[in-house]
């Protein structure tokens, strides 16, 4: 009996018992839908987390002032002012092999005013390197350079949210004068929209100004202390090198012994990214294994139905054998039925799973990532489940004695 | 006389039922020549069904030789026996044994499915076989939509469709009324006249008289082997009945 004929025979047999066939494949339907949906949801969530992480910047290190103990009382991290502009310049100058860019950062909050509009926002004093470190392009205009920093020039770059608040008509923004606190500033650039950070902060609610403009004019201090530094390593592999080299350089500049607790801290954001990725991975693996278990349950369902079907159709098997069916013909027939059940269930499950993942994607606003290899593998697995589930019942059918099978009532 | 289709020598079949051995056949030697129409009779337990199963290649003898068309089939494997059944033997059963919820045409196609015959040829040959038993207009009917006699005719068409050399009919009229029985026996007689060898198992003497030769089994042995006198011919019986 050729494959086409046995396929037709199997379909006919399954159609004769529609409800039972449907119930038998239900397990596989649910399993495949679950696998496809969970894998796609897992990958979507992963992609979203990765995108959020990437919005921080790539290969990122954060250098912040450390805790020092004064008279036995330890202060918290960042409470001291022992990182300076000179430290940043030294890192930039000396560690060119591992460090791509370094941006000193001092923050202050400020009221900003344009015409009859005003807004309260975060002002960041930094250098043009900040845009590079965070991988943040300008939508319009130009960044400020060294001259503006050296001169504490009254210029600023606005985040999207600030633009929306100050310029509701958004007609002409570049070149306008706004007031930041008491300092009139010329808008020379607008940042591209970046959206929310992974912890829900609006990253576009921000103004960038030259470091010295913020420190000297807005804060009004002659101190060279830097709030923090953001460092971008040249490659993911060089993050650790950069961290080690910065540590060594800063220890040396701060005259610290090798054994002393450093008066600064370096936070590795790549580690955070990996941790977040691992979390989503764990969830994906968990969901996936639940789905696989349901595939096994589905296979058991099919095996059960096939066993009942073989018993019920003993006489039919006897007839087929009497008119010339060999054991392997009968084996193949029942195996085909099981595989058809599993495959049809698989296809229905696939459609269902794709639907679910699309719906979830729109609901939770993440990319719906349907991976064809995973879908193909799941379908193969469903077919394989059919073979495994069908084999024992089919074997039993093929080993029936034709005389007894014919006598079966 | 034609060369024998069936040739058995000292066939022995023993069934084990727990610790008890039952000798169903105790050495049966019979020849059935090509074109014969033989009826096997006997009480239940006489061994006639066992004989039938052996001749039909559904079972293997413990001892003895069985030549079908000159080939020793007593030593073949299960799969080889299935091939012999499919190609050389046609079965007609008491309970018709048609596939339920499957139309007449597909039922008749069934034996060809296992001989690798193309679906077009299957269709054509099944249609012809149905026409031959007078059911050319019932191809799409399922067994439930057919009378007993019609179902048995479908079964006969199925038995013929692979052009066997031997037709085995096991109590083919057991589930039919007397008139329909005569009709069915008429089909067998017609087929026999066309050259087909027919082996009929029955316990009804009236039915057996449609054959040309009667063999009576008792306790696993052939008790009697005689030619039928005053053979009944269905064609004439039906004609007389119509006249009455």
Burial of A53 (0-12, 13-18, 19+ CB in 10 A): buried
pLDDT-based confidence at B75, cuts 50/70/90? confident
pLDDT, position A195: 80
Enter the pTM of the model. Answer: 0.72
Residue in A140, A182, A181 with CA at minimum distance from that of residue A157? A140
Backbone region of residue A324 per phi and psi (left: phi > 0; alpha: psi in -120 to 50; beta: other values):
left
- pLDDT tens digits for range B85-109: 999 999 999 999 999 889 999 999 9
Q: What is the pLDDT of residue A287?
A: 77
- Which class does domain B34-60+77-243 fall in? alpha beta
Interface check for B60 against chain A (CB to CB < 8 A): the answer is: no
Confidence of residue B153 (pLDDT cuts 50, 70, 90): very high
CA distance A329 to chain B (A): 8
Question: B87 to chain A: which residues are within 8 Å by CB?
Answer: 324
How high is the pLDDT of residue A360?
83
Q: What is the pLDDT of residue B110?
A: 94
Q: What is the pLDDT of residue B130?
A: 95
ipTM score: 0.94
- Overall average pLDDT of the B107-129 stretch: 93
Nearest residue, CB atoms, B85 vs list A316, A324, A327? A324
Contact A294, A32 (CB under 8 A): no
State the pLDDT at residue A35: 84
* Contact yes or no for B79 and A2 at CB 8 A: no
Distance CA(B231)–CA(A30), nearest Å, equals 67
**Cβ contacts of B115 on chain A, cutoff 8 Å:** 324
The first and second tokens of residue A225, run together, are 């202390």
| CA distance readout (Å), B161 to B69, B73, B123, B191 | 19, 22, 11, 13
Name the B residues in 146-185 with CB < 8 Å from any A CB: 158, 162
pLDDT computed for residue A68 by the predictor = 62
| Low-confidence residues in chain A, pLDDT < 50 | none
Cβ distance B97 to A319 less than 8 Å, yes or no, reads yes
C-alpha to C-alpha distance for B110 and B161, rounded to whole angstroms: 9
């Amino acid at each position: 009996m050729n494959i086409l004929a046995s396929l037709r025979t199997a379909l006919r047999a399954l159609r004769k018992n529609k409800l039972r066939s449907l119930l038998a494949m239900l397990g596989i339907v649910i399993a495949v839908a679950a696998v496809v949906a969970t894998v796609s949801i897992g990958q979507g969530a992963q992609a979203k987390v990765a995108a959020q992480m990437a919005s921080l910047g790539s290969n990122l290190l954060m250098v912040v002032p450390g805790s020092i103990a004064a008279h036995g009382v330890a202060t918290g991290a960042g409470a001291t002012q022992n990182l300076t502009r000179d430290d940043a310049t030294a890192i930039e100058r000396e560690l060119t092999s591992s460090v791509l860019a370094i941006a000193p950062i001092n923050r202050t909050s400020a009221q900003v005013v344009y015409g009859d509009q005003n807004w309260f926002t975060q002002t960041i004093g930094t250098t043009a390197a900040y845009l590079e470190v965070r991988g943040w392009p300008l939508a319009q205009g130009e960044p400020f350079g060294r001259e503006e920093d050296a001169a504490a020039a009254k210029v600023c770059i606005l985040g999207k949210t600030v633009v929306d608040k100050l310029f509701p008509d958004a007609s002409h923004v570049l070149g306008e004068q706004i007031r930041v606190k008491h300092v009139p500033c010329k808008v020379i650039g607008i940042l591209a929209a970046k959206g929310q950070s992974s912890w829900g902060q609006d990253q576009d609610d921000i103004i960038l100004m030259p470091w010295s403009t913020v420190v000297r004019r807005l804060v009004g201090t002659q101190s060279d202390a830097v709030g923090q530094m953001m460092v971008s390593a040249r490659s993911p592999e060089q993050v650790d090198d950069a961290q080690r080299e910065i540590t060594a350089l800063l220890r040396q500049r701060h005259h610290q012994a090798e054994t002393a607790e450093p008066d600064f801290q370096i936070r590795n954001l790549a580690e955070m990214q990996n941790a977040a990725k691992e979390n989503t991975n764990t969830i994906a693996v968990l969901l996936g294994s639940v789905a696989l278990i349901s595939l096994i349950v589905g296979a058991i369902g099919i095996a059960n139905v096939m066993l009942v079907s073989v018993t019920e159709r003993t006489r039919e098997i006897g007839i087929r054998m009497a008119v010339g069916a060999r054991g392997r013909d009968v084996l193949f027939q029942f195996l085909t039925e099981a595989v058809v059940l599993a495959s049809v269930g698989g296809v229905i499950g696939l459609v269902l799973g794709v639907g679910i993942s699309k719906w979830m994607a729109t609901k939770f606003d993440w990319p719906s990532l349907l991976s064809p290899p995973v879908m193909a593998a799941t379908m193969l697995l469903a077919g394989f489940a059919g073979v495994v589930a069908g084999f024992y019942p089919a074997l039993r059918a093929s080993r029936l004695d034709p005389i007894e099978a014919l006598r079966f009532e | 006389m034609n060369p024998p289709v069936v040739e058995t020598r000292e066939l022995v079949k023993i069934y084990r039922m727990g610790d008890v051995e039952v000798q169903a056949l105790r050495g049966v030697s019979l020849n059935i020549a090509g074109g014969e129409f033989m009826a096997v009779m006997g009480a239940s337990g006489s061994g006639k069904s066992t004989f039938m199963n052996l001749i039909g290649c559904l079972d293997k003898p413990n001892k003895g030789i069985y030549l079908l068309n000159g080939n020793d089939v007593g030593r073949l494997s299960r799969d080889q026996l299935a091939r012999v059944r499919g190609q050389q033997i046609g079965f007609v059963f008491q309970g018709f044994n048609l596939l339920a919820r499957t139309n007449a045409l597909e039922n008749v196609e069934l034996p060809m499915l296992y001989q690798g015959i193309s679906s077009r040829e299957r269709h054509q040959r099944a249609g012809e076989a149905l026409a031959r038993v007078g059911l050319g207009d019932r191809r799409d009917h399922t067994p439930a939509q057919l009378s007993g006699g019609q179902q048995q005719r479908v079964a006969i068409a199925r038995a013929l469709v692979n052009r066997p050399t031997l037709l085995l009919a096991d109590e083919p009229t057991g589930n039919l009324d007397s008139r329909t029985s005569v009709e069915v026996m008429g089909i067998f007689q017609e087929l026999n006249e066309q050259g087909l060898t027919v082996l009929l198992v029955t316990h009804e003497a009236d039915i057996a008289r449609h054959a040309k030769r009667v063999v009576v089994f008792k306790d696993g042995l052939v008790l009697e082997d005689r030619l039928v006198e005053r053979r009944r011919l269905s064609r004439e019986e039906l004609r007389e009945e119509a006249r009455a």
